[in-house]
Every structure is written in structure tokens, then in C-alpha cells.
Amino acid sequence: KVLLASLCVAFVAVKWSAPSFDSESLRGARVLVTGASTGIGEQMAYHYARFGAQIVITARREKVLQQVAEKCQSLGAQKALYIAADMASVSDPDQVVDFAVEKLGGLDYMVLNHIGPSPFRMWDGDVEHTRWLMQVNFFSYVHMAWKALASLEQSKGSLVIVSSLLGKMASPFVAPYTSTKFALNGFFGALHHELAMKKSNVSISICTLGLIDTEAAMDKVRGVTNIPAYPATDAALNIIKTGATRQTDLYYPWFTQLVTLSKDWLPSLTSYIIQNSYNYSP
């Protein structure tokens, strides 16, 4: 109990000491958001637009991107451009960065958010799918980060990585997905240290999200679990604030941080809870 009370006090202290967000800082900011045709990425595009940013959005479906870009323009974006790209391709990630840097004249924020579709089921030995998902969810992030680093350095910019609680804690039915998120946390955690040691201008924020009510996520877990889902628009706003205030981490909702700690402190209990959070009978 004492431990839990101290943890809660520590959390409140961290929340209070978090730097305050000034939405004016995003007016005219040059932003690239990936995976922005639906879900959290789409919501981020709308928030950036309301703040008067200049945005480039990307995903595979050109028609949907066009509609999102039009809505961004109507919400107040200074610029709203789109480029269709498949992150499974080796060349598209670089081309997207080139397009954004050229059209916006540089970059202040790059928010890497896209994920490829992956089945929600027990691991069935599909190594090829895991390899493909690694390219989409992980290697494309690495490519884009490297390609954008010089521009971000020039602008004292920020790199924002959208990760997951499943990048800190493994869970059943999503082995390939969880692997890609662990890889992201490892790679960008290391890069964060290296940039700090080199006294780089670029900040890296890694966002750990719990279950969010996007259509894609809800389609997977409906009827399978009662874990509460949090609103995509609020998750999106919190990610943007984290990048704008150059914080290293976001845990959304807040208790995801407690959950990540519990897996090391109370491993058996955590495993029991995880395995009993899903309706499954062999």
C-alpha cells in the first residue's frame, strides 16, 4: 500500500511538472504525419489543422487522403498536402520525407504513426507476415527517421513515435505486432540517448498508448475483451502536446505507466490478469 501511495504521489508530481503546451507554437509549423487516412493519425491531422500548422499526410489510399486533406484545409491548416505511399516498399518511406521537406521547405515535426494490418489471433507460424509487418511498422520508421534527421536538426525539430503498451508488455493474439512495437521502443530509445549525448537539437518522444477506440482496433477486440478503450481524438491531442513540449514519453491513458511497472514488480499477477482479460477457450 505504501508503495502504491508513493507511486501515485510520484505520478501527480510528474504531471504537475510537465511543461505547459502553447498551441500558438504550432501555427505555421511544418508537420509530416504518417498513417493519417484513418484512426489516430487522421485525428492528429485535424488537430494540427485547427492549430494552423502546415501539414503533409500520408497513407496508401489516395482518395481517402484527399478527403482528409480537404477537411484539414477547412479546419484552418495553412497547407494540407498528401502523398500516397506504401511503407512496405523500400523506396516509399524516403520519397515521403523528400516530398514533405520539399513542399514545406523543411520539417519541424515528423510523427510516425502508421501500422500495417495484422490479424488478431494466436501465432500460426506465418513468418512471412511477421517479416512484412517489421518492414511496415519498424524498418520504414528507421528509414524515415534517418532521412528526416538533417531537416529536423536544422529546425530544432521533433520526432514523435507512436508506440503501444504492447511495445512494453507482450500480450496474446498479437505476436507479430507486439514484436514491431518492442523493436521501435528499443531503436528509438537508443537513438534518444545518442542524440542527447551528441547534444543534438532534435527531440524524440515515444508514445505508449493503451487501447484506443479506432475502428481498426475495435473491430479486432469486440466481443473478445472488456478492456476499456479511450477516445482517438484525445489520444491524438496528447501525442501532439507531447511532441510540441519535447517530452521524452507519453503514457496514454495515464495508468498504462503503472501497468508497465506492474509487469516487472508483480509478474505472476500481471500474467494472470493478461491471460484472463480475453474470452478464449481452447
Active site amino acids? 177
Minimum CB distance to ligand NDP, residue 144 (Å): 11
What CA–CA distance (Å, rounded) separates 96 from 65?
14
Tell me, what amino acid is at 264?
A: D
CB half-sphere exposure, 72, CA atoms < 13 A: 32
Rank residues 64 and 142 by Cβ distance to ligand NDP and give the closer one.
64
- Closer Cβ to ligand NDP, 202 or 206, answer by number: 206
Shortest spacing between CB 262 and ligand NDP, in angstroms: 18
Cα distance between residue 34 and residue 85, in whole Å: 9
**Amino acid identity for residue 24 in this structure:** E
Q: At what angle do helices 256-265 and 2-17 cross, to 10 degrees?
A: 140
Closest separation in Å from C-beta 9 to ligand NDP: 27
Strands, sheet with 109-112, edge to edge from the N-terminal-most edge strand: 79-84, 54-59, 30-34, 109-112, 158-164, 203-209, 249-252
User: For residues 225 and 262, which CB has a smaller minimum distance to ligand NDP in the complex?
Assistant: 225
CB of 184 to ligand NDP, least distance (A): 9
Query: Nearest to residue 56, comparing CAs of 142, 44, 186?
Result: 44
CB closest to ligand NDP, residue no? 39
Nearer to ligand NDP, 54 or 163 (CB): 163
Residues that bind ligand NDP (CB under 6 A): 35-41, 59-61, 64, 85-88, 113-116, 136, 162, 164, 209, 211-212, 214, 216-217
User: Min. distance of Cβ 214 from ligand NDP in angstroms?
Assistant: 3
Count Cα atoms within 13 angstroms, Cβ side, for 62: 3
The separation between the first and the last C-alpha atoms of the chain, rounded to the nearest angstrom, is: 37
Give residue 199's Cα distance to chain centre. Answer: 24
Between 155 and 225, name the residue whose CB sits nearer to ligand NDP.
Answer: 225
